[in-house]
Copies of this chain bind each other. A is one copy, B any other.
Amino acid sequence: MREKKNKLSVGAQNLLSIPSLLGTEFLSKAQIEQVLKLSFLFKKCLKQNQAVPQTLAGKTVILLFFEPSTRTRSSFELAAKRLGGNTLVLTKEGSSAEKGETLVDTAKTVQAMQPDLLVLRHPSAGSPFHLDQILDIPIVNAGDGFHEHPTQALLDLMTIQEFKGKIEGLKVLIVGDIAHSRVARSNIYALKKMGAEVSVCGPPTLLPPKVEQMGVEVHYELEKAVKDKDVIMTLRIQFERLNPGQSPSRGEYSKFYGISESVLKTAKADVLIMHPGPVNRGVEISPEVADGSRSVILNQVGNGVIVRMAVLHLLTGNELLKGWL
């Protein structure tokens, strides 16, 4: 039987290794900075067509995806392969989970195949935390229900850092269905740790109760909310997941919470426009804004692969790249 690794606790302030990446709530500012630093290093490498160090060579990353996802799954797969690692994707369809196996049994079986790291997407909030108690290998939470999606927040931070040169002191507005968004939650934790001022704006039915307690300013009117902001993140609205009582119509949503050129009049001229994708064009965001010069939506996608390279590198026990940082 595999020996239990001496896994550090999730909140450890250890600069050299993070044991599992379960949520940004449990990351220190120093750990976030470490991931960003390494990400920019990898980015420089790729930009200069330098060979990326194959630090995952001979290692295996298993992606256990209980919810469909092309974007996030592809990004993790590419990240692992770029570092020379092997990947194996397991989805719910045709898996033992469909034959009635419990998540814990599935996870233990996966671990028994001796991967070096597990990336988990699961509809139940908290499931990666539960598995982290049981398994010996590092786990990356790739989205757990409405809870957290930490690598999305990290790639968003990287993109802000890239285009604004800093995160501290920036005014960031998150717009949309905050209540059901793991992207929003992970970003609020991470942005605040890095010293940004975070506001949220959305229909009252789609804001979490007592959202102020997360340390964010709350707005209901978009025109007022965007004023003086450095960054506006708009979220994908998933009409299919909302119940009709909660949910505005597409037209209604777009009218009150869609980011259009006219809404942006009161925002800073160099405001950064972000969206985790895929975009509902004309709903959360107008085509002009999505394709406009302030939009960094595609840069987010590119940085996503790179941030995940950094996370996989660090979590599989690699040293920081000595002499590089």
CA distance A109 to B95 in the complex (A): 28
Q: Is A299 an interface residue (CB 8 A)?
A: yes
The answer, among B52, B278, B301, for a CB contact under 8 Å with A100, is B278
CA distance A69 to B109 in the complex (A): 14
Q: Is A124 an interface residue (CB 8 A)?
A: no
CA distance A99 to B236 in the complex (A): 11
8 A Cβ contacts from A293-307 to B = 298-299, 301-302, 304-305
Q: Which of A86-94, A194-202, A223-231 contacts B (4 or more CB under 8 A)?
A: A86-94
Contacts of A111 in B (CB 8 A): 298
8 A Cβ contacts from A92-111 to B = 94-96, 99-102, 105-106, 108-109, 111
CA distance A63 to B299 in the complex (A): 21
Q: Which of A14-22, A75-83, A211-219 contacts B (4 or more CB under 8 A)?
A: A75-83
Q: Is A1 an interface residue (CB 8 A)?
A: yes
Question: What's the nearest-Cβ distance from chain B to residue A245, in Å?
Answer: 23
Residue of B at shortest CB range from A90? B70
Residue of B at shortest CB range from A296? B1
Residue of B at shortest CB range from A60? B78
CA distance A52 to B60 in the complex (A): 13
Quick check: B60 and A81 within 8 Å, CB to CB? yes
The answer, among B77, B102, B301, for a CB contact under 8 Å with A112, is B301
Contacts of A2 in B (CB 8 A): 302
Q: Chain A 280-302, CB within 8 Å of chain B: the 1/0 string?
A: 11000000000000000011011
CA distance A255 to B70 in the complex (A): 44
8 A Cβ contacts from A1-33 to B = 1-2
Quick check: B90 and A68 within 8 Å, CB to CB? no
Quick check: B71 and A302 within 8 Å, CB to CB? no
Residue of B at shortest CB range from A67? B94
Q: Is A74 an interface residue (CB 8 A)?
A: yes
Contacts of A71 in B (CB 8 A): 96, 109
Q: Is A58 an interface residue (CB 8 A)?
A: yes
- Chain A interface (Cβ within 8 Å of chain B)? 1-2, 46, 51-52, 58, 60, 68-71, 74-75, 77-78, 81-82, 86, 88, 90, 94-96, 99-102, 105-106, 108-109, 111-115, 277-281, 298-299, 301-302, 304-305
